[in-house]
Chain A
Amino acid sequence: MFRVLKNEVMKLFLFKRVHIVWGILAFLVLITSAVLRLSLEVGENEAETELLMAFSNGQSLPVVMLGGLSSFVFPLFVVMITSFMISEEIGNGTIKLFLLHPVTRTQFISAKLMAITAFNAIMLFFTMIFSYIAGTLILGFGDNFAAETLLEGIYTTTTLQGIAITLLSYLLTILTLSAFGAIMLCIAQKFSSSGITIAVGVGFLILINLLMNMYLPINDFFISGYFKFSDILMSEGSLQKSLMGVIVLLVYTFLAYFVTRVQFLKRDVLN
């Protein structure tokens, strides 16, 4: 099992196109930092400038970036990676390379899910660390941590608490993206074309974001409700809501994994 996982993670780093993800993320962090800096310098409205000043610093930028990227950009990368890791391998026949060696189908699917989780963790921590560095260099580290939350406006706290919130937000987002990755794994193993998987995945992503924005009474059970985990951590009753989120996400992950496994065990590998 560990050997299959090692191979999957190795492949992630051997393929050049995966490195494009790091390039895009670095670009987005740099452009956000630069825009914030420029807005502060040319800001005419005093109230707006004050608001911007609150979170335009190195210690707050990682959460600003997480809030901006977690609903669409990060899940979009997950869609692309699962399509490369599963659909493309089914389509071009490389999937059978592993199935002709001492690897059970359950081990294979489990390793794929773990590799997606590893990719999510690397992608998120890269964004967090790069945001700390780029934010501090371009905007300065700042005196306090501040973030703009959806429900409760500007949330301000000490640097130490801010770092704790940032770390926890990123850690819990790994869980969200992995649950989404597990669903994508289930979708991707149905198709032998990465293009179709990406199209279906993007459609699914738009749909769950739309449903979330309708503020339905069952929003707490939507995976998209946990894309912005930092908002939950900075809201009232954060512990209870976070626990609920973790349970919902684990249920999504295990259900999607179970369905994928059952279907993959039955599958005839024809390519």
Chain B
Amino acid sequence: MLEVNGLKKDYDGRTVVDNVSFCVKEGEVLGFLGPNGAGKTTTIRMILSLVHADSGDVKICGYDVKKEFINAIKNVGAIVETPKFYEGLSGYKNLKLIANLHPEVKNERIEEVIQIVGLTDRIHDKVKKYSLGMKQRLGIGRALLHSPKLIILDEPTNGLDPKGIREIRELIKKLASSQKVSFMISSHLLSEIEQMCSSVLIIGNGKILKTGLVEELVKEDRNLEDFFIRVTEGAEENV
């Protein structure tokens, strides 16, 4: 579903992403972890072609993001960092603007997505009146709108209350298992990642530190949090 090969990016002579390669299979939920400044967001931006990689390539559903951008990006839904909206417009109009870019997305699909993310009562309010959690839900709704095969979410549960977190977690699990949608989820909530993801990739100082199935990686530790701290602290000592 997603193949990343040798991605590299330098900013002002400093390497922020260094030879990152991995893949996400159909129906896989990959947790993308790393301390602040590890290169997670830059990697996501390069996958989505928002930032140009110095070297390496990305394929989504077999399409090269650089050479076949339209075919590749059709299969992706994404939230990069905090979801952004036209704050002066309603949630519905924000969704409608994006739906306009996908001829296959009809009004019924917009209504369906609004129900999925639980914003039916407030969808016609202006986004500037939304709480952070509601914006997060709307962002997830927007990412789901065109029924993509791969969804990339940067901190998807940020700002959500425990009930909202659980609902999003269940939704991700359901989409992955029933519709074989693949997810790449970046988060600092390691307990959430442990519950949501089938595999994790840990990045530090722009390099991949560890990757594998969650259950195998945490065998020696009590949980993912302990494993993550051990791996990232080890990497910092090496630096």
Q: A102 and B73: CB pair below 8 A?
A: yes
Chain A 172-201 residues near chain B, CB threshold 8 A:
none
Q: Count chain B CB atoms within 10 A of each CB in A4, A97, A102 and give the residue with the most.
A: A102
> In the complex the two chains form, what is the Cα distance from A119 to B189 in whole Å?
46
**Which chain A residues have a beta carbon within 8 Å of chain B's beta carbons?**
3-4, 6-7, 10-11, 14-16, 92-94, 96-104, 266, 268-270
Contact indicator A6/B70 (Cβ below 8 Å): no
A102-B101 in contact given A14-B89, A15-B88 (Cβ < 8 Å): yes
Q: Are B98 and A97 in contact (CB under 8 A)?
A: yes
Q: Can you spell out 21 A-B residue pairs with CB atoms less than 8 angstroms apart?
A: A3-B100, A4-B101, A7-B97, A7-B101, A10-B100, A11-B97, A16-B88, A96-B80, A97-B98, A98-B101, A99-B48, A100-B48, A100-B73, A100-B76, A101-B98, A101-B101, A102-B73, A102-B74, A102-B102, A269-B45, A269-B51
List the count of A-B residue pairs having beta carbons below 8 Å apart. 68
Does B69 sit within 8 A of A, measured CB to CB? yes
B141 → A minimal CB distance (Å)? 13
Contact residues in A for B93 (Cβ distance below 8 Å): 14
- What is the predominant secondary structure among interface residues of chain A facing chain B? helix
Interchain CA distance A59-B182 in the complex, whole Å: 65
* Nearest 10 Cβ contacts at the A-B interface: A93-B84, A269-B50, A268-B51, A101-B101, A102-B70, A102-B74, A94-B84, A7-B100, A100-B78, A7-B97
**Nearest A-chain residue to B71, judged by Cβ:** A102
Taking the complex as formed, is B22 at the interface, i.e. its CB lies under 8 A from any CB of chain A?
no
**Residues A94 and B80 in contact in the complex (CB < 8 Å), given A3-B103, A268-B51:** no
**Interface membership of chain B positions 72-87, coded 1 if the CB is closer than 8 angstroms to chain A and 0 otherwise:** 0110101011101110
Please name all residues of chain B whose beta carbon is closer than 8 Å to the beta carbon of A97 when the two chains form the complex.
84, 97-98, 142
Residues in chain A near residue B80, CB distance under 8 A: 96, 100
Q: Which of A4, A14, A94, A270 contacts B51 (CB 8 A)?
A: A270
B52 in contact (CB, < 8 A): yes
Least distance between B174 CB and chain A CB atoms (Å): 23
Smallest Cβ distance from B79 to chain A, in angstroms?
9
Of the listed residues B69, B97, B100, the one surrounded by the most CB atoms of chain A closer than 10 A to its CB is B97
- How far, in Å, is A89 (CB) from chain B's closest CB? 9
A-facing mask of B49-78, CB < 8 A → 1, else 0? 111100000000000000001100110101
Which residues in A have their C-beta under 8 angstroms from that of B101? 3-4, 7, 98, 101-103
B residues at A contact (CB < 8 Å):
45, 48-52, 69-70, 73-74, 76, 78, 80-82, 84-86, 88-89, 93, 97-98, 100-103, 142, 146
10 more contacts with CB within 8 A, not counting A3-B101, A92-B84, A269-B51, are A14-B86, A14-B89, A16-B88, A97-B142, A98-B101, A100-B76, A100-B80, A103-B101, A104-B69, A104-B70
Looking at the assembled complex, report how far the CB atom of A2 sits from the nearest CB atom of chain B, in whole angstroms: 10
Residue of B nearest to A6 (CB): B100
| Residue on B nearest A92 in the bound complex, by CB | B84
What separation, in Å, do the CA atoms of A102 and B45 have in the docked complex? 16
Which of A6, A14, A16, A268 is in CB contact (< 8 Å) with B50?
A268
Whether the pair A11, B70 counts as a contact (CB closer than 8 A) is: no
Closest to A14 in B: B89
| CA A270 to CA B50, docked complex, whole Å | 7
Nearest CB of B to A157, in Å: 46
Q: Which A residues are CB-close (under 8 A) to B85?
A: 94
Considering the chains assembled together, what is the distance between the CA atoms of A16 and B45 in angstroms?
Answer: 32
C-alpha gap A24/B84 in the complex (Å): 31
Residue of B nearest to A99 (CB): B50
A residues in contact with B86, CB < 8 Å: 11, 14-15, 94
A269 to B69, CA, bound (A): 16
Q: For residue A268, which residues in chain B have a CB less than 8 angstroms away from its CB? A: 45, 50-52
The residue on A at minimum CB distance from B85 is A94
Candidate in B48, B50, B73, B93 with the most chain A CB atoms within 10 angstroms: B50
Separation of A231 and B178 alpha carbons in the complex (Å):
69
| Nearest CB of chain A from residue B65's CB, rounded to whole Å | 12
- Nearest CB in chain B to that of A10: its residue: B97
A93 to B97, CA, bound (A): 15
In Å, the complex CA distance between A268 and B100 comes to 25
**B81 (CB) vs chain A CBs: closest residue:** A93
Once the chains are docked, how many angstroms separate the CA of A159 from the CA of B217? 85
Residues of B contacting A101 with CB < 8 Å?
73, 98, 101-102, 146
CB nearest to B94 among chain A residues: A97
Interfacial chain B residues near A94, Cβ < 8 Å: 84-86
Contact A96 B70 (CB under 8 A): no
Which residue of chain B lies nearest to A93 when distances are taken between CB atoms in the complex? B84
In the assembled complex, which residues on chain B have CB atoms less than 8 Å from the CB atom of A10? Answer: 97, 100
Contacts of B76 in A (CB 8 A): 100
Contact A96 B50 (CB under 8 A): yes
